[in-house]
């Protein structure tokens, strides 16, 4: 049985190498420490959200399912002394466009379908940082042999 799940490090490495305006790209562990003490924005974090598999499509002893994997890219941009976040909003828009241009339609490897954008939302606005989460998905077939 060969089952392959999405390696989020592939996405972290890809964004880190391509998104020049970001100071760093990290995973969920980095987000945990940065949320309380972010040092140098703008930064991004790739965080797994969930997997959702369809029912078995074969009805035989072989199992074949479509698995959709969702992940988030959480971006933090600097927001200094701007209660409305106007400057941070402009910086965020540019970063989000860059990240979407890189991820939308990209395939992490040949087993996965092209990545799709699923939506986004503001997480938090403080006197220092604007946090935003964009969600993406990709799918692939998992099967028993």
Task: Spell out the domains of the chain, with CATH numbers in brackets.
Answer: 8-143 (3.30.2000.10)
Kind and range of the H or E run holding 100: helix 86-103
Q: Give CA angle at 86 (80, 88), nearest 5°.
A: 55
Using the predicted structure, report yes or no on whether residue 87 has a pLDDT greater than 50. yes
Q: What is the pLDDT of residues 32-79, one digit of tens each?
A: 777 666 777 899 999 999 989 888 867 667 787 888 999 999 999 987
Question: Looking up tokens 């992490």, which residue turns up?
Answer: 108
Query: SS3 for 96?
Result: helix
Rounded CA separation 135/70 (Å): 7
This prediction has a pTM of 0.88
């Amino acid at each position: 049985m060969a089952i392959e799940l999405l390696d989020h490090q592939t996405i972290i490495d890809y964004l880190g190498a391509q998104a020049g305006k970001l100071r760093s790209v990290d995973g969920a562990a980095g987000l945990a420490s940065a949320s309380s003490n972010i040092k140098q924005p703008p930064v991004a974090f790739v965080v797994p959200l969930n997997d959702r598999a369809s029912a078995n499509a074969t009805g035989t002893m072989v199992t074949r399912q479509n698995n959709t994997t969702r992940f988030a890219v959480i971006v933090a941009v600097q927001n200094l002394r701007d209660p409305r976040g106007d400057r941070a909003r402009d910086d965020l828009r540019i970063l989000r466009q860059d990240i979407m241009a890189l991820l939308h339609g990209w395939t992490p490897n040949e087993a996965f379908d092209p990545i799709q954008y699923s939506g986004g939302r503001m997480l938090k606005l403080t006197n220092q940082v604007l946090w935003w989460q964009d969600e993406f998905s990709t799918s692939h077939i998992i099967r028993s042999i």
